[in-house]
Structure 1
Amino acid sequence: MPSALFVVSEHGYWGEECIEPLTTLSDAGVDVTVATPTGDPPEVDERSVDPENVGEEQAEWVMDVHESDERLQNPEPLARQTAGDYDTVVFPGGHGTEWDINQDSHARDLLRDTVEGDGVALVVCHAVGILAFTRDSDGGFLVDGRDVTGFPNEWEEGIVDDDDLMPDGRKLPYWVEDEVKAAGGNWDAELDQDTSVTVDGSLVTARGPGSSHAAAVTLLDELGIEYED
């Protein structure tokens, strides 16, 4: 049975970006393990389960899975995970990743070892920021020269204020697009398209919530797993 590790933020993952791939892969027969930096259950970003923001049906679905899925409620500690134990490692997005996942050395090691090894990595939305801090085995940036998509500056401008403060009062530490470009990534968020998923070798990146399903289906295809809608 193919296996996947989901590396999920304890500071606020975006509901659809985790739950959509998690359920899609599970339904396709993939054995899913969830890990967080400390092994504590992840937190879901409140804005991603606000009916006024995402719709009542999606908000209820995400919260139902978040609260009932045993894998999310009892995750593994990230430091105990090894890339070689999984066929794919998935990094769901959400602003919360900027405070833990993207800065975590074990998460960066998992990403590097997956991309340089025999697996496939899927990195979504704000989690794409991890590419700005991940080095390859030779010491260069893993993203240097790679085609990627992710959460664009144009969208961030509609969320933070002039002081880079988010609606909850936290200061955004960096903008994903700026940092990934500075690390050498070939950035194209395809803002003229409804969805944006980019494949560059064993690295798959996705723009944001609306691309979550397409990202999951693309990942299954990269794993050689047939998907039936």
Structure 2
Amino acid sequence: MSKKILCVLSEYGYWGEELVGPLEEADAAGYETVFITPTGKRAHALPPSAKAGYFDPPLKKVVTDEYYAAKTREIDASPRLDNPISLKDWFPERPYFNDQNFGHELVAYHKKREECWDQLAEYDALLMVGGSGPLIDMVNNQRLHDMVLGFLKLNKLIIAECYAVTILAFARDWSERKSIISGRHVTGHALEYDYKDGTGVLGIDANFGPPFFPLEYILRDATAPNGQYHGGVGHERSTILDYPFLTGRSTQDSKLVGQLMVKVLEEGLDRYGW
């Protein structure tokens, strides 16, 4: 039986180390990583994550070292990320409520989604890489939400890093609309480490200022009342496993996220960090 991980990358830029860390661990453990993007366009790394010595304003420290910058450039220049799967061509779009044939279209949508969920059985885990790009085309992507729900239905490992953790708060069954991480333990970008200015993405020439939302607040609400958001402020890493959810706060967690991913898949680990 083949060992496969499905990895989602933003077409507006991913953070290099957040791909390299898990990818290296997956490679070493003999897992094939299959790449998918929202519309099938090739993904590229955010430039700061490929530049050694990049200084992060909130952390007041360099967050891109020589090794990960070089590995990011190496992967970005290789054909490995060429020809990704198109999420748009795979999963169906939910119809608008006021569409003329909404009832029939909704039945067709649910039928197609079930077929897509069945196809996820060949993968062992879903990995959603962070960075600022996911804010544009992953966080509020209905098709990606449905993919997450499919992995959840199959009780398979779901991994999210940095701002990609937001997807877990928004991926909800359209009928019930309940948070899938209610009562769960997760981490994600802490308020103390959010930019106040300078948020940017690939392909759009703009300074968005601060990120589009304070992720910490969203995760605190989404995990309530019996779960918990773990910021890990003041600690180098914050990595939380509450199976099937494995979350990493930021780029510094990337290697550990990869190591835990392998331990979950190979050894059945189901809890870490809380």
* Superposed pair shares fold, TM > 0.5: yes
Give the partner amino acid of 1:179.
Answer: I
1:59 aligns with 2:69: yes
Alignment of 1:76-155 (within 5 A): 76-79=85-88, 80=90, 82=116, 83-136=120-173, 138-155=176-193
Could you tell me which of 208, 212, 221 is aligned with 1:170? 208
Which moved further from structure 2: 128-137 or 141-150?
128-137
5+ unaligned residues in a row in structure 2: which ranges? 55-63, 92-115, 201-205, 269-274
Secondary structure of residue in 2 paired with 1:223: helix
Which moved further from structure 2: 6-15 or 137-146?
137-146
Q: Which residue of 2 aligns with 1:212?
A: 254
> In the TM superposition, what is the alpha-carbon distance from 1:201 to its structure 2 partner?
2.0
Which moved further from structure 2: 5-14 or 19-28?
19-28
Aligned residues: 220
Q: Which residue of 2 aligns with 1:74?
A: 83
Confirm or deny: 8 A CA contact 1:37 1:77 kept in the other structure: yes
Confirm or deny: 8 A CA contact 1:2 1:29 kept in the other structure: yes
Question: What per-residue deviation string (whole Å, max 9, x for no partner) do you get for residues 184-212 of structure 1?
Answer: 35211222432221111211111111110
Q: How far apart in 2 are the matches of 1:123 and 1:17?
A: 10
Q: Which residue of 2 aligns with 1:4?
A: 5
Identity %: 26
Confirm or deny: 8 A CA contact 1:3 1:31 kept in the other structure: yes
Q: Which residue of 2 aligns with 1:40?
A: 41
Q: Which has the larger radius of gyration?
A: 2
Aligned residues: CA RMSD: 2.0
> In the TM superposition, what is the alpha-carbon distance from 1:105 to its structure 2 partner?
1.1
Q: How far apart in 1 are the matches of 2:121 and 2:143?
A: 14
Q: How far apart in 2 are the matches of 1:21 and 1:148?
A: 18
5+ unaligned residues in a row in structure 1: which ranges? none
- Runs of 4+ deviating beyond 3 Å: none
Confirm or deny: 8 A CA contact 1:90 1:122 kept in the other structure: yes
Secondary structure of residue in 2 paired with 1:113: helix
Confirm or deny: 8 A CA contact 1:87 1:118 kept in the other structure: no
Give the TM-score, by structure 2 length. Answer: 0.75
Give the partner amino acid of 1:201.
Answer: Y
